Amino acid sequence: MSTETPPHHDDWQRTRWRSELRRKLLDWFSVHARVLPWRSDPTPYHVWVSEIMLQQTQVATVLPYYQRWMESFPSVAELAAAEESELMRHWEGLGYYRRVRSMHAAAKKIMTDHDGRFPVDYDQVLALPGVGRYTAGAVLSISSDAKLPVLEGNTQRVYSRWIALRTSPTENAANKLLWELATRMLPRRGSGQFNQAAMELGALVCLPKQPKCDECPVKSHCRTAELQLQSEIPGKIKRIKYEDRTEFALILARQSRGTTQYLARPLPDGGRWAGLWDFPRCTDATTESVDAAAGWLSDQLGAKIAPGVRLQTLRHAVTKYRISLHVHQASFSAAAAATRRKPPEPWQWVSLDQIRTLPLSVTGRKIAKFLVDDPQPILPLE
C-alpha cells in the first residue's frame, strides 16, 4: 500500500460536497459582493470591456478607465468607429496595449459579422480577436447565465486550494483538472453568479499571500486550510527573470510662431507600444551610451544630432526588462536646417498642447509632464 501523499484531494467528486460549498459561497457573495458598474448592468459589451481591462490589472485601477471608456464608447458601434489613436489615449497607463487593438478589431468584426450585436454563441465569441476560453466563459456566463466555467488568476488559486492541488496550476495536467473542477462546480442556474463569487473570494479573501482564512465562508471545505499548506498552494508559477537595460530619450525642441515644439513620432507596428507616440528613443536595439543613441537618431533623421545634458532618469519595467531611461537634451548640427523645419516621416514637431491629446506610454507622459513643469532646461532651436 502506497504512503505517498496524493497530488490533490477528491472531495470535489462528491455531489454533496459541491452543493454545500456552492451554497455557502453564494450566500457569502450575496452579502460581500463589491458594487461594480459592469455588475450593475451586465450586458455582454460591458462585461467584455471589463474583463479585457481586468487582465493582469487590479479592479481599483480599472474603475476610472472603465467609466471614461463607457462615456466615450458606450456601444460596440462607437468602439468600432473610433480612431485607434483615440482608443490608445483612453487606454494610456493600463499597459498591455495589444489588448485595446484586439478589442478594436473585435468590434469591427462584430459590426460586419453580427450586425453590431455582441454574439451570445460561445464559438462566435471565442472567434473574436483577443478572446480566449476564460474571457468567452466570463462574458457569456455573467451576461447571459450560460453554463460556462471561468478559470483565471483568482479562481485558479481558489480551486487549487480547495482540493489541495500540489502541482503548479499552469502544468497541463493540473490545468486540465482545474477546468474540470470549474465546470463541475457550476450550478444548474446562476453560473454567472457562481463564477463571480469564486473570483470575488480570490480577490478579497483567498489572497496569494496571507489569505484571510478566518473570514472564508468555505474554510471547512478547503483541504489546503485543513493541511495548513496555504503558503505552498497553489504550486509555484515560473516567475519572470528581469534583465537590466539602459535606454536613452533625446529631447529636440524648436520655436515655431512663438510656440515651443518637440520632436515625436507614432511608434511602428510590431514593436513595443505600437500605436502610441513617443519622444525619440531606440527601443528595438541596445544603445550602450547617449552618444550611440544620438547616432541612432542621426540615422533616423538623416541629420547629425549632438547629445546634451541629462535632464532626468526614469526607471520602469517592460516585459522581461528593468529599464533605466536617461532623458537627455539634444540638438541638431548647424547644417541640419532643412530637417529642423520638416523632419522625415513619421517624425513630427508637436507642441505640448498637441502632446496632451496624443496617446503616450507611461514614461512618455512623464517626460511630457517634465517639459510642462520645467521647460527652462530645454533650449529650443530658433
pLDDT at 278 over 70: yes
C-alpha cell at 261: 515644439
Per the prediction, the chain carries an average pLDDT of 89
Domain ranges of the chain: 11-227, 243-373
Is residue 341 within 8 A of residue 301, CB to CB? The reply is: no
Longest dimension (CA), the chain: 88
What are the pLDDT digits (tens) for 63-92? 999 999 999 999 999 999 999 989 999 998
What's residue 170's pLDDT?
86
Q: Report the CATH number of the 243-373 domain.
A: 3.90.79.10
Topology alike, domains 11-227 and 243-373: no
What are the pLDDT digits (tens) for 231-259? 999 877 666 677 888 889 999 998 888 88
Q: Which superfamily does 11-227 belong to?
A: Hypothetical protein; domain 2 (1.10.340.30)
What is the identity of the amino acid at 360? L
Selected catalytic residue, list 20, 51, 232, 382:
51
Is residue 249 within 8 A of residue 326, CB to CB? The reply is: yes
Distance from C-alpha of 380 to C-alpha of 340, rounded to nearest angstrom: 11
Q: What dihedral angle (degrees, nearest 10) is formed by the CA atoms of 102, 106, 112, 118?
A: -170
Q: Write down the residue that cell numbers 504512503 correspond to.
A: 3
Is residue 203 within 8 A of residue 31, CB to CB? The reply is: no
Among 148-157, 217-226, 230-239, whose mean pLDDT is lowest? 230-239
Among 55-64, 222-231, 289-298, 371-380, whose mean pLDDT is lowest? 371-380
C-alpha cell at 271: 514593436
Distance from C-alpha of 202 to C-alpha of 156, rounded to nearest angstrom: 9
Distances (CA, A) of 185 to 146, 199, 223, 235: 14, 13, 16, 21
What's residue 320's pLDDT?
77
Q: Which residues contact 278 (CB under 8 A, 6 or more apart)?
A: 249, 264, 265, 267, 360, 361, 364
What's residue 9's pLDDT?
75
Distance from C-alpha of 139 to C-alpha of 63, rounded to nearest angstrom: 18
The residue with greater pLDDT, 334 or 105, is 105
Q: Is 232 one of the catalytic residues?
A: no
The residue with greater pLDDT, 288 or 200, is 200
